[in-house]
Amino acid sequence: MKVPFMIFTMIFVAIALYFMQFDLNDFQALNKKSEKFFKNVKSSIQYSMTNKDRAIYEDMQEDNPADIMLSNGELIFNNMGGEKKLASFLEIKEKDLPKYIAGFPRYNEKIGMVVGLDQVIQALAYDAGYKKTRLSSSSMFSVIAYVKSLANDERININIKENIHLYESYTLGKNIFHMKRGGRGLSCFSCHSQDIVDRVLRTQKLPNLGDRGVAAGATWPAYRMTKSSLRTLQRRFQGCMKNSLMKVLPLGSAEMVALEVYVTKKALGHKIAIPGLKR
Ligand code: HEC
């Protein structure tokens, strides 16, 4: 009974391996072709759209559908005490908020961890009597987007040497970015390294996360056209993890915050423009 089953399993594994190989070869061949074809296309351009979709994209750039979500975020934020409360929580002057926001994620002594803006807002919300604030809720996304937009036009100024906690978080983020995980043994770096940037995967150009025009750390939260919703940077990471068969890490975990630190550092010096608009 057991022998035929083993033979069956071996044949099955052999076939699966063959197809995985085939898939990879296919991907490489496609990349070679597309490399030639797309040589002149700039990475920041959202090119793989129909003309009709492109027209919508351009309209949306003038009039980002997420603006209304930010207004909603502003209302909720003001109910929690607004900028005054946030500044006092962070122990800084209200007028210094924009510059300070442009340096997140940061180590926060009260919370005792390196945190993203979302976790600071979660703490404020808790103080204001909102007992259930899921980091993944759409109202939370709206508030984060609004608060980060207070720093619009400031340049990302994260300083990973500010303290040992942030430096350790950066190092962890770098490791996770390069760590091969999941069903395909891919890392973030497999698709977002300098030498593969601009190649095409599933009709999308692989973005250099720190490039002008992408600068992920400065342009998320963003409205994602394909999801018709406002998403945060960590939520975007989760999308990539899911697509590349990695175990999806929870929002706000030390690992996710570390990835955000690492990716934000790549956008150092880029101007913040929230809400972003992404395909
Ligand atoms: C299999 C390839 C692949 C892997 C692995 C991958 N990504 Fe991506 N990623 C993409 C593609 C393709 C896009 C662009 C999709 C688009 O334009 O809609 C993208 C987009 C992004 C963006 C948005 C960029 C922007 O426009 O602002 C971020 C941020 C990102 N990835 C982070 C990550 C992180 C972090 C990891 C590791 C956990 C990761 N990616 C793993 C393929 C990948």
pLDDT band at 22 (very low <50, low <70, confident <90, very high): very low
Atom of ligand 1 lying closest to residue 186 CA:
5
The token duo for 174 is 């770098």
* 44: confidence class by pLDDT, cuts 50, 70, 90: very low
Give domain status of residue 1, yes or no. Answer: no
Is the residue at 262 inside a domain?
Answer: yes
Which domain covers residue 72, as residue numbers?
42-279
The average pLDDT across 210-237 equals: 87
The string of pLDDT tens digits covering residues 59-88 is 777 778 888 999 999 999 999 999 999 999
Residue 212 lies inside a defined structural domain of this protein: yes
Instruction: Please answer whether residues 125 and 69 qualify as being in contact, where contact means their C-beta atoms are separated by less than 8 angstroms.
Output: no
**Is 5 inside a domain boundary?**
no
Q: Which residue has the tokens 């209304």?
A: 68
First vs last C-alpha separation in the chain: 53
Q: Under a CB-based contact definition with an 8 Å cutoff, are residues 114 and 173 in contact?
A: no
DSSP string across 4-45: HHHHHHHHHHHHHHHHHHHHHHHHHHHHHHHHHHTTTS-TTS
Q: Could you tell me if residue 211 is inside a domain?
A: yes
Residues sharing a CB contact under 8 Å with residue 31, sequence separation 6 or more, in sequence order: 199, 200
With bands split at pLDDT 50, 70 and 90, how would you rate the model's confidence at 193? confident
Q: Residue 17 domain-assigned?
A: no
Distance 207 CA to ligand 1 centre (A): 7
Q: Which residues form the pocket of ligand 1, taking CB atoms under 6 Å from any ligand atom?
A: 186, 188, 190-192, 201, 204, 206-207, 209, 214, 216, 219, 236-237, 240-241, 244, 259, 263, 278-279
What are the structure tokens assigned to 227, written together? Answer: 């999801």
Based on the structure, what is the number of domains in the chain? 1
Establish if 158 belongs to a structural domain: yes
| Residue 7 falls inside a structural domain | no
240 CA to centre of ligand 1 in angstroms = 5
- Can you give the pLDDT at residue 51? 78
CATH code (residue 97): 1.10.760.10
